[in-house]
Amino acid sequence: MNVRMLVKRSLAGAALGLAATMALPAGATPNEQYFPMIGWRTGPLTPLGVNVAAGWIDYMDLLNKRDGGINGVKLTWEECETAYKVDRGVECYQRLLRNGPTGASAYNPISTGVVYALLDRTTTDKVPIVTIGSGRTDTTDGSVFPFVFPLGTNYLSTNTVKIKFIGMQEGGMDKLKGKKIVNLHMDSAGGRETIPLLDAQARKYGFEVTHISVAMPGSEQQSAWLEIRRIKPDWVILREWGVAPAVALKTAEKTGFPLNRIVGVPFAGTEDDLIPAGSSAKGFYVVHPMPTGEFPVTQEIRKHLYAGGNKGNLQDMSRMGLIYYNMGLTYGVLNTEAVRTAQKKFGNKPLTGEQIRWGLENLNLDEKRLRELGVWGLVQTIRTSCRDHEGGGAAKVYQWDGAKLVQVSDWIMADKAITRPLIEESSAKYAKEKGITPRDCSKE
């Protein structure tokens, strides 16, 4: 786009904006459901921000163009740039809170830091936050966190899937006894989150776990891997993200640790992390609650948004069907299905954040519904309740073959018997600190 066009457009846009604000008569509420999007297209995690936003916007756009919105209610959205900074995220939250005819439907901050900062505010402002594949694990307990929804699979669940997968590789959970597992984690809030869980599982299954921390941002891991070489573990859990996983895999290769004995968290093994590593990361396992690949819904998006020279929100078409884009699709599916669920109770009109909160808490996506939406295999079955805001808890395991992620297991369900007490302990502590009386879920 040349400068002249940019200036022209900006002037026209400004005039349009002014005209729109002046022309809108008071009282006439447009039939629209408004989604605030606090994300980023600049900063350290640009690929994540750009592609998730693209998937999410494309899905909402698909519903608008193909179905005319949700039961006649058109979807609208507005982006606010945070550059992955917490304070900018809080500012964006406040800025978009009351926009649209009924205010913000639900926030999906993606960034864990922003989730923590918004925890209290959402309860007072009566707007739900949805944290798919990120956020704070104990918010799964909906009796203490009525407005927070870590839909899909939380960090603890993903971690139990890893242990289950390791058990499967060893030939049964009883074979874990006496095995040595190293938990190589980032030295940050999210990085330390699984330590108590792994300790509990180590006691239960009789394996030995060693926690080794890597200082942010993790560009230097020589000493950590030397220690791993000394311990000689059977498996390494790689709880790293950003620049760290690539460094870890390179260092592992250098120190002679077999890569097919490393299991990574989702953000350690997206295509964006692994393509630069190429064949040197071959054999590395990753657990993904939001899978890679193309699904019927992807074809629909290609047909309705991209066919005939049209453009959707995705600039680089080679990204379609990759993890980040599919994450965006999942955000789109779960948020809009919550709107649909809430409409059944409150009517087919623009809904408030509080009404959508009800929809999020009563989601029921079974195989039939997921097939109807064309997302079977992409989105796991999810059923939420007051007690359980996670609703799912499964993940698939992939292995990097040097060029792409190859699925090596179907959905593996998390071991909730072991995560639930930890979640309840943590949420009870939060409730006590904050003076929150938990809701009685039997009455909901």
Partner 1 sequence: MFYREAGQYKTAYATDQRIFPILQDRAAFTALMVAAFVVIPVTGNDYWFNGLLIPLLILSLATLGLNILTGYAGQISLGSAGFMGVGAFAAYNFMLRVDGMPILGSFVLASLCAALIGVLFGLSCHRIKDFYLIVATLGSQFFIEWVLTKFAWLTDYNPSGVITAQKIVILGVAFDTPMRRYLLVLTIVVLMTLAAKNVMRSAFGRNCMAVRDMDVAAEVIGINVFRTKLTAFAMSSFYCGMAGALWAYAYVGTVEPQAFDLDRSLQILFMAIIGGLGSIMGSFLGAAFVMLLPIVMNMAGSAMFGHSIDAGIVANVEHIIYGALIIWLLIVEPHGLVRLWQIGKEKLRLWPFPR
Interaction site with partner 1 (CB under 8 A): 1, 9-10, 13-14, 17, 40-42, 46, 50, 53, 78-81, 83, 86-88, 90-91, 93-95, 97, 113, 116-117, 119-121, 136, 187-190, 192-193, 195-196, 215-216, 313, 315, 426, 430, 433-435
Nearer Cβ to partner 1, position 91 or 300?
91
Nearer Cβ to partner 1, position 66 or 345?
66
Compute CA distances 100 → 39, 63, 113, 192, 377, whole Å.
18, 18, 26, 38, 33
Nearer Cβ to partner 1, position 229 or 434?
434
Nearer Cβ to partner 1, position 86 or 413?
86
Nearer Cβ to partner 1, position 76 or 335?
76
Q: What minimum distance in Å lies between the beta carbon of 397 and partner 1?
A: 25
Q: What gap in Å lies between CA 156 and CA 239, rounded to an integer? A: 12
Q: What minimum distance in Å lies between the beta carbon of 1 and partner 1?
A: 7
Closest C-alpha among 73, 4, 41 to residue 351: 73
Q: What minimum distance in Å lies between the beta carbon of 31 and partner 1?
A: 18
Report cis status (omega within 30 of 0) of the bond before 36: no
State the number of CA atoms in the 13 A half-sphere of 12 facing the CB. Answer: 6
Q: What gap in Å lies between CA 156 and CA 138, rounded to an integer? A: 9
Q: What minimum distance in Å lies between the beta carbon of 229 and partner 1?
A: 24
Q: What is the dihedral of CA 13, 17, 23, 28, to 10 degrees?
A: 120
Nearer Cβ to partner 1, position 88 or 404?
88
Q: What minimum distance in Å lies between the beta carbon of 22 and partner 1?
A: 13
Residue recorded with tokens 């709880």: 239
* Residue 78 φ/ψ, nearest 5 degrees: -145, 135
Q: What minimum distance in Å lies between the beta carbon of 10 and partner 1?
A: 5
Q: What minimum distance in Å lies between the beta carbon of 178 and partner 1?
A: 26
Nearer Cβ to partner 1, position 20 or 28?
20
Q: What gap in Å lies between CA 378 and CA 133, rounded to an integer? A: 14
Helix residue spans in 39-183 (DSSP H):
46-62, 86-96, 112-125, 155-170
For the record, the structure tokens of 3 come out as 């400068």
